[in-house]
Structure 1
């Protein structure tokens, strides 16, 4: 990964500017009840390193490259000053849906998690129905399976969910070939969006070349930062939605910057950047949460009291600092 080596700040400086936080979630999300992140007060503004703990160092190193670029380098100019965002509905019981949606005021698009381990298609249908009923017929409703279905399961589930006028299905299956098969089987009745097939792929352009998706979900941290993500979007030639990974407002600011810098015509609707609403805390007093269904393009200021309040336990602080050092070594020297 030595392609990231040029311009890296000294590791000692990165660690000196870093604070590790652990923020509870309001609702269990993808199995997470506490979100951990490294917040770094960079010269260009605060930045975030928050790959999920199960990701290996090589994958996580790309997230660190994004964080260092955002914290130490000027970013591409914004073409927009506000970014429309969607509500994000975790895999909760249908009865909990209205309370979740209330955290996203003004949003007219919702993304609903489906294919949760231990749940059934009936649970998914009930949750999506509850979202549609709460938001009304004019709203856009998307579903996200996070690779949770086989091809047959995806076709069966999405056929059933078409009753609720689904905008698109995000990553219904794990592989590009499976996405292509699902897309062909549904014959255009539901659009297919690729997420993991972009951000976790050795070749993030394969899904676009193969015609396996109608649009791409793009995340700044996993792709190495705003500039690298913009380059990928240009090469892919498909419309995109910018999303996040349950970040604090600092990480969300990176995604907002990416969405704001996209060329005219590339943004395919509301972005998945409203997820600070799912956290029970933040590192700033001026959180990047939806107001009137959108987020302003800005970088929030860190708050020392909140950084102290949500400071991670010493063992987790050490764990994350060691991880930063290992990932930095990969960026500097490669394998």
Structure 2
């Protein structure tokens, strides 16, 4: 992207929303996002609050590209998606799974701060019991383990027939060592944070640290940059969400729709984690549409963030826009 629209054009349609969640996830009970409309439609800017402006500006580049430039051609109209199970007690698993209509795959959060391996085992066991032997289960540790902890945990969870383990450790070198240690278990390793939060998103592929990549459109700077990374990496990918609203999920679905090959169910069903949203992007029959989403006007009004939070997001948008204006992506 070489052109950055004037800030005033973005501010003209900017809306800040606060979406309540059914269950606390990634440390939040309410997910905030800034939405705006460009010539191509609505886009989302929603980097997590702890990200600095330099990292957040990449998310803004993705949103501007989506609002001002056509999306790549799609090779599929629908995307199969997984259910996402937060780090809930095992007895709550059936209720969470029930919100993901028709999903044959579940991603289970593990390595939650304040919990232990026994909690993870109980949660995964409950998912397997609910989904039956044909269901697919993947785990996501969000880099919460060191190598020894990861080896022990994956060994303990292996009897539940894991599809793969996502970001069990933080560092690329740790992933390389762990992958070698658990080779006998035949459980693939997926890299997420080692791609989307890395200065060099291809380092994990070059090091042989993962069997597949988890990619997210906003953090990688948009669909076309993500497609370039996938092409260079030469590994299978899963397209996932960054806990986006329906608008941001539409961007992820467009990325998944443009990929030449899509061997895994994608993590784009996370609208089911929200108690309310700006449009209905929940999976139906285990799939989501790849079509662009337009937020509902009444939902935008209903979910409008408090004035103080709106001011915070507009100030953040202004700072990130200034960074892009000085150095377009």
Relative to the length of structure 2, the TM-score reads: 0.98
1:74 aligns with: 70
The 3-state SS of whatever aligns with 1:223 is: coil
Gaps of 5+ in 1: none
RMSD between aligned residues: 1.0
- Looking at structure 1, the residues matched to 315 and 273 of structure 2 have their Cα atoms a distance apart, in angstroms, of 28
Gaps of 5+ in 2: none
The 3-state SS of whatever aligns with 1:222 is: coil
- Looking at structure 2, the residues matched to 188 and 104 of structure 1 have their Cα atoms a distance apart, in angstroms, of 33
- Looking at structure 2, the residues matched to 193 and 217 of structure 1 have their Cα atoms a distance apart, in angstroms, of 7
Deviation, structure 1 residue 334: 3.6
Match of 1:43 among 39, 42, 45: 39
Deviation, structure 1 residue 177: 0.4
Asked if residue 262 in structure 1 is aligned to residue 259 in structure 2, the reply is yes
Deviation, structure 1 residue 326: 0.6
- Looking at structure 1, the residues matched to 153 and 38 of structure 2 have their Cα atoms a distance apart, in angstroms, of 45
The 3-state SS of whatever aligns with 2:19 is: strand
- Looking at structure 2, the residues matched to 9 and 334 of structure 1 have their Cα atoms a distance apart, in angstroms, of 13
2:317 aligns with: 324
1:96 aligns with: 92
Map 1:47-58 → 2, pairs under 5 A: 47-58=43-54
Deviates more, 1:8-17 or 1:194-203: 8-17
Asked if residue 219 in structure 1 is aligned to residue 212 in structure 2, the reply is no
Match of 1:65 among 47, 61, 86: 61
2:171 aligns with: 175
The 3-state SS of whatever aligns with 2:24 is: strand
1:26 aligns with: 22
Deviation, structure 1 residue 239: 0.4
Deviation, structure 1 residue 296: 1.4
1:279 aligns with: 274
The 3-state SS of whatever aligns with 1:327 is: helix
Deviates more, 1:119-128 or 1:188-197: 188-197
- Looking at structure 2, the residues matched to 291 and 309 of structure 1 have their Cα atoms a distance apart, in angstroms, of 24
CA spacing shift, 1:188–1:203, aligned 2, 3 Å: farther
1:210 aligns with: 207
Aligned length: 327
Q: Which runs of 4+ in 1 moved over 4 A?
A: none
Match of 1:185 among 181, 186, 189: 181
- Looking at structure 2, the residues matched to 249 and 55 of structure 1 have their Cα atoms a distance apart, in angstroms, of 21
Relative to the length of structure 1, the TM-score reads: 0.96
Match of 1:311 among 296, 300, 304: 304
1:163-209 deviation line (CA, Å, top 9, x unaligned): 10000000000000001111000015211000000000000000000
